[in-house]
Chain A
Amino acid sequence: MTTASVRTTSPKRRLGDVVFANLTRTAGALILVSLAGVAIFLTSEGLPAFGAKAGELQGHDNFLAYVAPLVFGTILAAVIALVIATPLALGVALAVSHYAPRRIATAIGYVIDLLAAVPSVVYGLWGIGFLGPKLIPIYQWLDEHLGFIPLFKGPASPTGRTIFTVGIVLAIMVLPIITAITREIFSQTPRLNEEAALALGATRWEMVRLSVLPYGRSGIVSAAMLGLGRALGETMAVALVLSASGVVTFNLISSTNPSTIAANIALSFPDSTGVARNALVASGLVLFVITFIVNFAARAVVARYEPGRKK
């Protein structure tokens, strides 16, 4: 059939198809419009902060000096969370997809999914009321014995409300999303690849290393990045747990901690006016951009690994 003949016989347009096509188009466009709306709001409201003078920004000279410690804290907390959560999530995902008996695996899967359904304020309460106090002796121990490492320089926080506690709470919060995605990828590993490894005399772990992990590599990266995105933006738990003082420090266990952008907005917004309020919105814009970059980076990484895989 030639192209011309296709053109001459215009296909019958069915009402259902037209309606459905337009519905999906609208839904797609709506996403773009709302994203653009958020970006425009953040930019226009935040703009005055970029020209703010000293004295208007909680004692900072300019907006950059104001936002830099917040960016630092945000990234530090998210990275701690990711460092803890990713290996744990991979372990859980592997256990569920390749090790545990089916019935137990399903149960573990449900419990992990349930973790995702717990509201973040509950995690915050748990962090401040339970986890923090329980961690105090550990922080003291770290301070005493590993104090020569800058990360544990101390003095140990007497309340346990440190950036490290926040990192642990965030790790538990991002665990479900990383686990869910990697579990899905791992269980899709082609049987043929797994059997190739087993037939060569691979043990279970060697089989995982030879076939499951390489197959899931890009999935692991994108899962971790999605987790990172969630950890970056998490507000409530951080605002509750962290005793923040806006410093820049790698000391993870002391009572002076860098704050995060999201927590700072949540805590300061109700009491701020004028330029201070603009500055908060502008810091929101910075967070927005960081999240964007993380997502693009994730896509780039995934795309880089993609050619090695059979499509």
Chain B
Amino acid sequence: MAKSIDVSDLNIYYGDFLAVEGVSMTIKARSVTAFIGPSGCGKSTFLRTLNRMHEVIPGAHVEGKVMVDGQSLYDPSVDPVEVRRMIGMVFQRPNPFPTMSIYENVLAGVRLNNKKLSKRDADDLVEKSLQGANLWNEVKDRLNKPGMGLSGGQQQRLCIARAIAVEPQILLMDEPCSALDPISTSAIEDLIHQLKEQYTIVIVTHNMQQAARVSEDTAFFNLAGAGKPGRLIEMNPTKKIFSVPDEEATEAYISGRFG
């Protein structure tokens, strides 16, 4: 069920402001693709266009094409709500629903899809999703406790469980470890390794070691200059990016000689 994504000539706007310009790339199915680049270069913005979350900000819109397995995401006949059900997202800061229990948090997305679930199916799905997110053993005895009572790393894995419970085809992760300590980060990275068996994963990260550890392909974004839009500089297999990148700017960024 994992799908590939084809982006061609995508321009992303906030109102009249062109934030990201001319991005074309192919994201392979069942693999991890990492986006790296300096702050403000548009990698998160670009990620959010892949499930049409970009447009929830008033005035935000895009030009260009995003195809998921041949279906255009921005076709007028496509309902953004359906897109988001198909393409899950995990955010920078863990955001479980504060008033819901762990159990209800996992089921939140499924309940939205108006599926009637028997108690047994719901239990099975919760267990499967939490196990999928490597959280089951830690929370199985307190499923009815509030999700906010977990540690930050556990909350983030709860959010991942919530995202995979609806069985999306693609999972987008926007700096999922930036608010977590190294141990929780390592738990999430292990999880990403497992998840790519089933899902197409796109991850934005500020941590280049993380990109090197988890991803097959890496895309480097950079600003063309102060006040200018962000651009995709280079996209290549991660091994190549971190050893012999095509572009000098990439080399400068990953070796710390930024500029």
Q: Chain A interface (Cβ within 8 Å of chain B)?
A: 102, 190, 192-193, 195-203, 206, 210-211, 214-215, 217, 308-310
**Are A196 and B81 interface neighbours, CB within 8 A?**
no
For residue B91, which residues in chain A have a CB less than 8 angstroms away from its CB? 192, 195-196, 199
Cβ of B53 under 8 Å from chain A? yes
Q: Does B166 contact A (CB under 8 A)?
A: yes
B253 at the interface (CB under 8 A from A): no
Residues of B within 8 Å of A201, CB to CB, are 81-86, 109, 112-113, 166
Contact A193 B98 (CB under 8 A): yes
In the complex, residue of chain B having the shortest beta-carbon distance to the beta carbon of A214: B99
B side interface size, CB within 8 A:
30
Q: Give, as a whole number of angstroms, the nearest-CB distance from A99 to chain B.
A: 12
Q: Which residues of B contact A215 (CB under 8 A)?
A: 98-99
- CB-CB under 8 A from A202, the residues of chain B are 81, 84, 112
9 sample A-B contacts, Cβ–Cβ < 8 Å, listed by A number: A192-B93, A193-B97, A196-B95, A198-B56, A201-B82, A201-B86, A308-B148, A310-B98, A310-B148
B56 near A200: Cβ-Cβ < 8 Å? no
Residues of A within 8 A of B95 (CB): 190, 192-193, 195-196
> A210 vs B91: C-alpha distance in the bound complex, in angstroms?
17
CB of A103, distance to nearest CB on chain B (Å) = 12
Cross-interface CB contact of B97 among A102, A196, A203, cutoff 8 Å: A196
A199 and B51 within 8 A (CB): yes
Tell me if B89 counts as interface (CB < 8 A to partner A). yes
Q: Which residue of A lies closest to B110 (CB)?
A: A200
Does A199 lie within 8 Å of B146, measured CB to CB?
A: no
Check B42 for interface membership: any CB of A closer than 8 A: no
Check if B98 sits within 8 Å of A200, measured CB to CB: no
B96 CB contacts on chain A under 8 angstroms: 196
How near does chain A come to B138, taking the closest CB pair, in angstroms?
20
